[in-house]
Structure 1
Amino acid sequence: MSLIPSIIAASALTLVGVGAAISTGQKKVTVLIVTGQNNHDWVRSTPIIKDLLDETGRFDVSVSTTPTQDAPDDAWNDWSPKFEKYDVVLSDYNGKMWPEPVKAEFVRYVNDGGHVVLVHAANNAFTGWKEFERMAGLLWRDANYGDRLYLDENLKQVRQPKGQGPGGGHGAGHAYTIETRDEKNPIFKDLPEVWMHGSDELYHAQRGPAEDVHVLATAFSSKESGGTGVHEPMVWWIPYGKGKVITLVPGHLGTNDKYPTTYDCVGFRTVLQRSVEWVATDAVTIPRPKTFPGADKVSVVPKPAE
């Protein structure tokens, strides 16, 4: 089986509707993107995420950038994002552990009804921060760190205990199909059951507490691509206190990645936009683009002018 499917570029005209998600007078969802460190190209990905949220007209987006890894303590002490001011906190961060007061504020925010979106390597972060690991449920950890969830060949969910099987990883980047596992969830309700995602890392064998995990979508991790040979969770959410946390493990962007990147995939962009709206409101008003991909072709937005 070829790992390089056809790619179709969505013309600007066929993207009609993407920016028309809200009606006049509808209150915008406030979003804080936390960024500043990552083992991926956050300098590019954070503005892209902000732009794709802005384009819907549904969100009011702010960005909080952490100090650098080697910044003095005073800089970290001065960094105090006000999570409680926002409907959603979206993490594009994978770096130094946050200061204890920020961690406490974050836990309080979610416990009191806040909403969190973790994108790609954001679920790799904060090894040993138990409350964050409970919120994420499944994280990039080794096999001895926690349990693993996957779907077997009969699409039955399997819980593999810690110490058995592989730990967190991914094979070669490639385009792959994403399959809906909860068609009633508003994020996926009118999307194709199976659609082709652009070239990306396909995370496998994520580990953690794995408690109250609601799997919304999976992808088959082929052994041909260096994967596990089972269906791995791609999108899931977890209730935490009065709040909830949704994780999207697609979203790789490396420093040398050129167009079309993961963030040019119409399917991924749509799911990310809708996930941010849903986690805050339990509903989705952002329409499905006319160019949303099917099962056999990747659909990408037009290449930006240089």
Structure 2
Amino acid sequence: MNTKSILTACACIVFALGFAPDSFAQKGKHIAVLIIDGFSNHDWKQTTAVTTWILEQSGRFKVTVSTIPGDSLQRAAWTPEFGNYAVVIQNTNNIQNPRLRWPAHAERELEHYVKKGGGLYVLHSGNNAFSHWQEYDRMIGMGWRPKTSGYALEIDAGKNILRIPPGEGQGTGHGDRFNAQIQILTRHPINKGYPEQWQTANTEVYHFPRGPAEELTVLSYAYDSTSTKRMWPVEWVVKYGKGRVYNSSMGHLWRGETYPPAYRCVGFQTTVIRAAEWLAKGKVTYPVPVDFPTKEKLSLRPEADFIHSTKQ
């Protein structure tokens, strides 16, 4: 089944009405999640479809999608109701076309939403976006930024965090994708019960991720075996006002791929679910599955799981 067919099949499940939770909580058994998409140098349509499937298959989430219009006039009027959702997943990236932006009023609404206590999940290349937006940099903590922009964090052999000032080192980048060994730096509700080290598939480890790096906690890191031969953060959380932000370089899905190993990884899927639950509730109840990957072994879901589900 090709990507276009998968996305067409997904359309009926991803554009459902969201819940209207009180104080960004959930009503009933489902947590209301909003995915923002519409432009990226990555395959944002399939990224949204697979992420929706991962979350809804857990039985804990109801996902709504808001696609930013391509037409500039319609885009200028685009105003999502962030307050109706416990979690917003940011899946837009304008790194290759800086003129593509959210309208200014939507930027302010997202800032207000998170400051009041909303949860923001910055999905992979979402942290490449919006270098013009100062408060976005504060929300995401670190992202894909030039050498002159913000601090870079590195992990040394003693598991200490090294803070590299603006102008030193390099701008953000990555080497070839590889099966990265994720190493826990800080125990947190999201990774509670995970092994100290676990493998994830076909991953980009960002070197010199940069930003204000304020109110930030690094959860995990990985050795960059294909480029710098140094250790860099993979996941981090940020406190922004009363809100919570989760940011990670995991979740790469490039044009021409269909449900690739990076998304089939049991560790990645589990983390998506647990991170979203933590953003919504400040705690995690979703269990670590028995087939969670280990230091020595990957664990991938069958391709047929997603493709069969989207045919229904």
The two structures share one fold, judged by TM-score above 0.5:
yes
Partner of 1:15: none
Find the partner of 1:162 among 147, 163, 166.
Answer: 166
Q: Which residue of 2 aligns with 1:293?
A: 293
1:56 aligns with 2:55: no
User: Aligned-pair RMSD on alpha carbons?
Assistant: 1.4
Question: What CA distance in whole angstroms lies between the structure 1 residues aligned with 2:72 and 2:270?
Answer: 39
In structure 2, how many angstroms separate the alpha carbons of the residues matched to 1:259 and 1:33?
18
Q: Is 1:117 aligned to 2:116, yes or no?
A: no
1:33 is paired with a residue whose SS is strand
CA–CA distance in 2 between the matches of 1:136 and 1:115? Answer: 12
Kindly provide the amino acid, as one letter, of the partner of residue 117 in structure 2. G
For 2:16, the equivalent position in structure 1 comes to none
Offset, 1:256: 2.3
Q: 1:204 is matched with which residue? A: 207
Report the Cα distance in structure 1 between the residues aligned to 2:32 and 2:170, rounded to whole angstroms: 38
Q: 1:200-221 deviations in whole A, cap 9, x for unaligned?
A: 2111111111111101111111
- Structure 1 position 26, deviation (Å): 5.4
* Structure 1 residue aligned with 2:153: 149
Does the alignment pair 1:181 with 2:185?
A: yes
2:88 — aligned with what? 89
Please tell me the residue identity of whatever aligns with 1:201: E
Q: Deviations over 1:163-217 (max 9, x none)?
A: 000110000111110011122x111110111000001211111111111110111
Structure 1 position 111, deviation (Å):
1.0
Q: For each residue in 1:199-255, what CA deviation from the matched residue of structure 2 results, as whole angstroms up to 9, or x when unmatched?
A: 121111111111111011111112xx12x2222111111111111111021111111
**Residue matched to 1:128:** 132
TM-score, with length taken from structure 2:
0.85
Superposed displacement of residue 295, structure 1: 0.7
Residues 223-234 of structure 1 aligned to structure 2 (within 5 Å): 225-226=226-227, 228-234=228-234
Provide the C-alpha distance between the structure 1 equivalents of 2:59 and 2:255, rounded to a whole number of angstroms. Answer: 29
Q: What secondary structure does 2:109 align onto?
A: helix
Q: Tell me the alpha carbon deviations over residues 118-147 of structure 1, each in whole angstroms, 9 at most, x when there is no partner.
A: 011000111120000001111100111111
Q: Which residue does 1:283 correspond to in 2?
A: 283
Q: Which amino acid aligns with 2:77?
A: D
Tell me how far apart the structure 2 counterparts of residues 160 and 259 of structure 1 sit (CA, whole Å): 36
Could you tell me whether the CA contact under 8 Å between 1:246 and 1:275 is conserved in 2?
yes
Cα offset, 1:260, TM superposition = 3.9
8 A contact 1:260–1:300 mirrored in 2: no
Match of 1:213 among 211, 216, 234: 216
SS at match of 1:49: helix
Q: State the distance in 1 between where 2:180 and 2:299 align.
A: 12
Which residue in 1 is equivalent to 2:6? none
Runs of 5+ in structure 1 lacking a partner? 1-24
Task: Compute the TM-score of the two structures, normalised by the length of structure 1.
Answer: 0.87
1:26-62 Cα offsets, whole Å, 9 max, x none, are 5321110011111101111100000000011111111
The DSSP-based 3-state class of the residue aligned with 1:54 is helix
Following the alignment from structure 2 to structure 1, what is the Cα–Cα distance between the partners of residues 117 and 252?
29
Amino acid at match of 1:174: F
1:193 maps to which of 193, 196, 200: 196
Identify the residue that residue 78 of structure 1 maps to in structure 2.
Answer: 77
Identity across matched positions, percent: 39
SS in 2 for 1:76: helix
SS of 1:27's equivalent in the other structure is coil
Shift of the 165–81 alpha-carbon distance from structure 1 to 2, 3 Å rule, reads same
Secondary structure of the residue aligned to 2:211 is coil
- Greater RCO (CA < 8 Å, at least 6 residues apart): 1
- CA spacing shift, 1:84–1:26, aligned 2, 3 Å: closer
The SS at the match of 1:159 is strand
Question: What is the alpha-carbon distance in structure 1 between the residues aligned to residue 245 and residue 276 of structure 2?
Answer: 10
The aligned amino acid for 1:221 is D
**Equivalent runs, 1:236-247 vs 2, <5 Å:** 236-247=236-247
Structure with more of its chain in helix, by fraction: 2
**Which ranges in structure 2 are unaligned for 5 or more consecutive residues?**
1-26, 95-99
Contact 2:159 2:185 in 1 (8 A): no
Runs of 4 or more, structure 1, over 6 Å off, are none
